[in-house]
């Protein structure tokens, strides 16, 4: 299969807009679960408003949240796919720019030193592109994540040491969720990276924070931590918007990687309740959009 | 809006408020320009409410429905705490009465609310599609070289209900919840296996 780069550009554009408007089903179901268990009256009322907002966005064909985020595209390329890599990257960037100009969307991206906004949602190394490969025949999947800044500012890394043990990893997660409080727009998905190098650890936390609700860490050790930490963070009482209640997080997700004998790194990256993502799967048969 | 000091001092944490008429949008860059770089503003904020926002808008020909040449597309709220140090000068120098945002503000803002007579109203962060239905037009815009972090003047209708989360009497729902969370931390840690011996 030869990738049609005009089509990729169009898909990159459509995915950004789709992600901003339609919340994935697993997140909608997450709200239903929280509404069943929330006991705090303020928390219940805030959850109801969030659910109402999802319906208003669909009815009015509007964005769920004003924050158009930092655009992230995760591209997974299967076997038997031919493409010009540099041209693929350029096509995705053009699609991202076009979504911003043509919809139009607020460009939330600025130069980190001058703070200049090019009004394209693009800049140095942005959109963030991750390109990976898998063994699906003649299949390309593009996932788009508009990562909101309120929750992205709830990002933390600590290079713990082996003597600190897994106990310190767990304590770090609890304390960072407390520190983030209402600023990260709870109920959240708390992404935790454990192991790797410092940069890989942070990346693992992002993968964890943006995974669908209901998915489980492939590493059984990580999966056990997920259920333990999910229970513990929801004992804290931070609640929706940090205004009190049982619904602090939809879930804690964990991703792991092997690390060095001298290292014990842990990272936290948080996803707000507007846990937006969209995906497109390209095969010789055509394109299907999903989440 | 606008409103006077006595009306704001009557508000207590837990009350709900719905605003009418006017609302001003401000954000990080707006306030850095105003307070760190000494930029003057053309709009009068005295007695008004400001909301921490930077909207999605569309350029349109100016008309009675769009006096500033912008139509609102999606207008929501951003995290307030980044702008904590600007509450005091907003109230002192510009007479702002109400700050609307999400996630809450800290002790310096609580003190400004107490001293000058102000309050913080919590809007549901991330519920921007709904919030947009409460905004009828963009009346004016200033400092638009900072776009989208301009100083915006919105025409509003039934903007709310908003929860009074910080008042002029030292009350802060965020502080109350924070104390409760701190007290529950030990129980949450105790519920985690393999923490016993090392704690």
pLDDT in tens, B20-29: 999 999 999 9
What does the pLDDT read at residue A129? 98
Out of A107, A174, A273, name the one closest to residue B188 (CB): A174
| A258 lies in the same domain as A170 | yes
- Domain presence at residue A256: yes
Nearby residues of A260 by Cβ (< 8 Å), 6 or more positions away: none
Do A31 and A116 meet the contact criterion of CB atoms below 8 Å apart?
A: no
C-beta atoms of A244 and B104 within 8 A: no
Out of A68, A185, A235, name the one closest to residue B191 (CB): A235
Average pLDDT for A50-79: 98
| A161 lies in the same domain as A234 | yes
d(CA A283, CA B41) in angstroms, rounded, equals 55
- Domain presence at residue A32: no
Our CA angle for B172, B173, B174, nearest 5°, is 90
Compute the count of residue pairs across chains A and B with CB atoms less than 8 Å apart: 174
By C-alpha distance, which of A143, A211, A156 is closest to A184? A156
What does the pLDDT read at residue B196? 47
d(CA A248, CA A83) in angstroms, rounded, equals 44
Shortest Cα distance, chain B CAs vs residue A120, angstroms: 12
ipTM for the whole complex: 0.93
Dump pLDDT digits (tens) for A108-165: 999 999 999 999 999 999 999 999 999 999 999 999 999 999 999 999 999 999 999 9
Residue for token digits 């158009």? A68
When pLDDT is cut at 50, 70 and 90, the band that residue B195 belongs to is: low
- Is the pLDDT at B197 greater than 50? The verdict is no
Q: A162: which DSSP letter?
A: G
| A234 lies in the same domain as A258 | yes
- Is the pLDDT at B11 greater than 80? The verdict is yes
| Residue B196 main-chain phi, psi, to 5 deg | -50, -65
Residue for token digits 């049609």? A4
Average pLDDT for A68-75: 98
| A98 lies in the same domain as A174 | no
- Is the pLDDT at B12 greater than 90? The verdict is yes
What does the pLDDT read at residue A22? 98
| A128 lies in the same domain as A10 | yes
- Domain presence at residue A98: yes
| A13 lies in the same domain as A118 | yes
- Domain presence at residue A51: no
Residues from chain B that touch A117, judged by Cβ atoms under 8 A, are 147-148
What does the pLDDT read at residue A137? 98
| A170 lies in the same domain as A284 | no
Percent of chain A whose predicted confidence (pLDDT) is above 70: 100
The domain total for chain A is 2
Percent of chain B whose predicted confidence (pLDDT) is above 70: 97
By C-alpha distance, which of B31, B40, B23, B33 is closest to B88? B31
* The model's pTM: 0.95
When pLDDT is cut at 50, 70 and 90, the band that residue B193 belongs to is: confident
| A203 lies in the same domain as A264 | yes
- Tell me the CB-side half-sphere exposure of residue B93, using CA atoms within 13 A: 13
- Is the pLDDT at A217 greater than 80? The verdict is yes
Percent of chain A whose predicted confidence (pLDDT) is above 90: 100
Do B100 and B29 meet the contact criterion of CB atoms below 8 Å apart?
A: no
Alpha helices in chain A (DSSP H): 5-21, 25-37, 41-59, 85-102, 149-152, 165-180, 198-209, 220-233
Torsion of CA A92, A95, A99, A100, to 10 degrees: 70
Q: What is the CATH number of domain B5-171?
A: 3.20.130.10
- Domain presence at residue A45: no
Average pLDDT for A242-263: 98
Residues from chain A that touch B163, judged by Cβ atoms under 8 A, are 42, 243
Using CA coordinates, name the residue in chain A closest to B192. Answer: A228
Torsion of CA B107, B110, B111, B117, to 10 degrees: 170
Helix A220-233 / helix A165-180 crossing angle, nearest 10 deg: 40
| A143 lies in the same domain as A285 | yes
Domain ranges of chain B: 5-171
Shortest Cα distance, chain B CAs vs residue A131, angstroms: 29
What does the pLDDT read at residue B194? 62
Nearby residues of B142 by Cβ (< 8 Å), 6 or more positions away: B41, B42, B43, B150, B151, B153
By C-alpha distance, which of B119, B184, B42, B116 is closest to A239? B184
- Is the pLDDT at A190 greater than 80? The verdict is yes
Contacts 24+ apart (CB under 8 A), A80-83: A80/A1, A80/A137, A80/A138, A81/A1, A81/A2, A81/A3, A81/A138, A81/A139, A81/A140, A82/A1, A82/A2, A82/A3, A83/A2, A83/A3, A83/A5
| A221 lies in the same domain as A235 | yes
Average pLDDT for A264-288: 98
Residues from chain A that touch B177, judged by Cβ atoms under 8 A, are 181-182, 237-239, 242-244
> In CATH, what number is assigned to the domain containing residue A73?
3.30.1330
Using CA coordinates, name the residue in chain B closest to A182. Answer: B103
Average pLDDT for A66-91: 97
| A255 lies in the same domain as A280 | no
d(CA A116, CA A109) in angstroms, rounded, equals 8
- Domain presence at residue A83: yes
Average pLDDT for A37-44: 97
| A228 lies in the same domain as A127 | no
Q: Which one of B28, B77, B120, B126 makes the best mutation probe of the A interface by having the most chain A beta carbons within 10 Å? A: B126
- Domain presence at residue A55: no
> Which domain does A219 fall in, by range?
149-271
C-beta atoms of A237 and B132 within 8 A: no
Average pLDDT for A16-24: 98
Average pLDDT for B184-191: 95
Using CA coordinates, name the residue in chain B closest to A150. Answer: B79
Shortest Cα distance, chain A CAs vs residue B148, angstroms: 7
- Domain presence at residue A35: no
When pLDDT is cut at 50, 70 and 90, the band that residue B199 belongs to is: very low
Do A152 and A121 meet the contact criterion of CB atoms below 8 Å apart?
A: no
């Amino acid at each position: 299969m030869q990738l049609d780069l005009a089509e990729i550009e169009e898909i990159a554009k459509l995915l950004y807009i789709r992600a901003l408007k339609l919340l994935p089903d697993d997140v909608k179901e997450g709200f239903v679960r929280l509404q069943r268990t929330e006991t705090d009256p303020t928390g219940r009322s805030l959850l109801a408003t969030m659910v109402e907002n999802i319906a208003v966005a669909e009815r009015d064909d509007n964005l769920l949240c004003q924050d158009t985020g930092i655009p992230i595209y995760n591209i997974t390329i299967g076997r038997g796919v031919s493409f010009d890599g540099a041209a693929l990257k350029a096509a995705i960037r053009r699609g991202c720019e076009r979504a911003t100009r043509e919809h139009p969307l607020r460009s939330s991206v600025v130069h980190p030193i001058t703070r200049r906004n090019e009004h394209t949602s693009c800049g140095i190394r942005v959109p963030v592109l991750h390109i990976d490969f898998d063994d699906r025949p003649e299949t390309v999947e593009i996932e788009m994540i508009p990562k909101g800044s309120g929750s992205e500012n709830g990002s933390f890394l600590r290079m713990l040491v082996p003597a600190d043990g897994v106990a310190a990893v767990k304590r770090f997660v609890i304390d960072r969720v407390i520190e983030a409080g209402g600023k990260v727009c709870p109920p959240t998905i708390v992404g935790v990276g454990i192991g790797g190098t410092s940069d890989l650890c942070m990346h693992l936390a992002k993968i964890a924070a943006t995974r669908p609700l209901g998915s489980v860490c492939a590493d059984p050790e990580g999966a056990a931590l997920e259920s333990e930490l999910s229970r513990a963070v929801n004992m804290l009482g931070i609640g929706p918007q940090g205004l009190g209640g049982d619904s602090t997080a939809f879930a804690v997700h964990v991703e792991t990687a092997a690390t060095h004998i001298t290292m014990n790194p842990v990272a936290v990256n948080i996803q707000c309740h507007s846990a937006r993502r969209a995906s497109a799967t390209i095969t010789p048969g055509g394109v299907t959009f999903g989440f | 809006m606008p409103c006077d000091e006595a009306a704001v001092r009557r508000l207590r944490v837990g009350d709900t408020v719905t605003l009418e008429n006017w609302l001003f949008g401000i954000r990080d860059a707006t306030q850095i320009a105003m307070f760190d770089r000494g930029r003057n503003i053309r709009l009068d904020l005295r007695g008004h409410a400001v909301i921490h926002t930077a909207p999605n808008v569309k350029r349109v020909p100016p008309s009675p429905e769009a006096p500033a040449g912008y139509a609102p597309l999606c207008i929501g709220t951003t995290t307030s705490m980044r702008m904590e140090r600007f509450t005091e000068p907003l109230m002192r120098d510009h007479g702002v009465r109400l700050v609307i945002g999400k996630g809450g503000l800290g002790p310096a803002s609580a003190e400004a609310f107490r001293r000058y007579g102000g309050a913080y109203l919590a809007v549901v962060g991330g519920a921007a599609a709904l919030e947009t239905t409460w905004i009828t037009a963009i009346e004016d815009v200033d400092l638009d070289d900072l776009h989208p972090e301009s100083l915006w003047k919105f025409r509003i209708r039934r903007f709310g209900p908003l929860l009074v989360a910080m008042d002029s009497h030292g009350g802060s729902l965020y502080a109350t919840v924070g104390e409760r969370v701190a007290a529950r931390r030990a129980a949450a840690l105790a519920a985690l296996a393999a923490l016993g011996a090392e704690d």
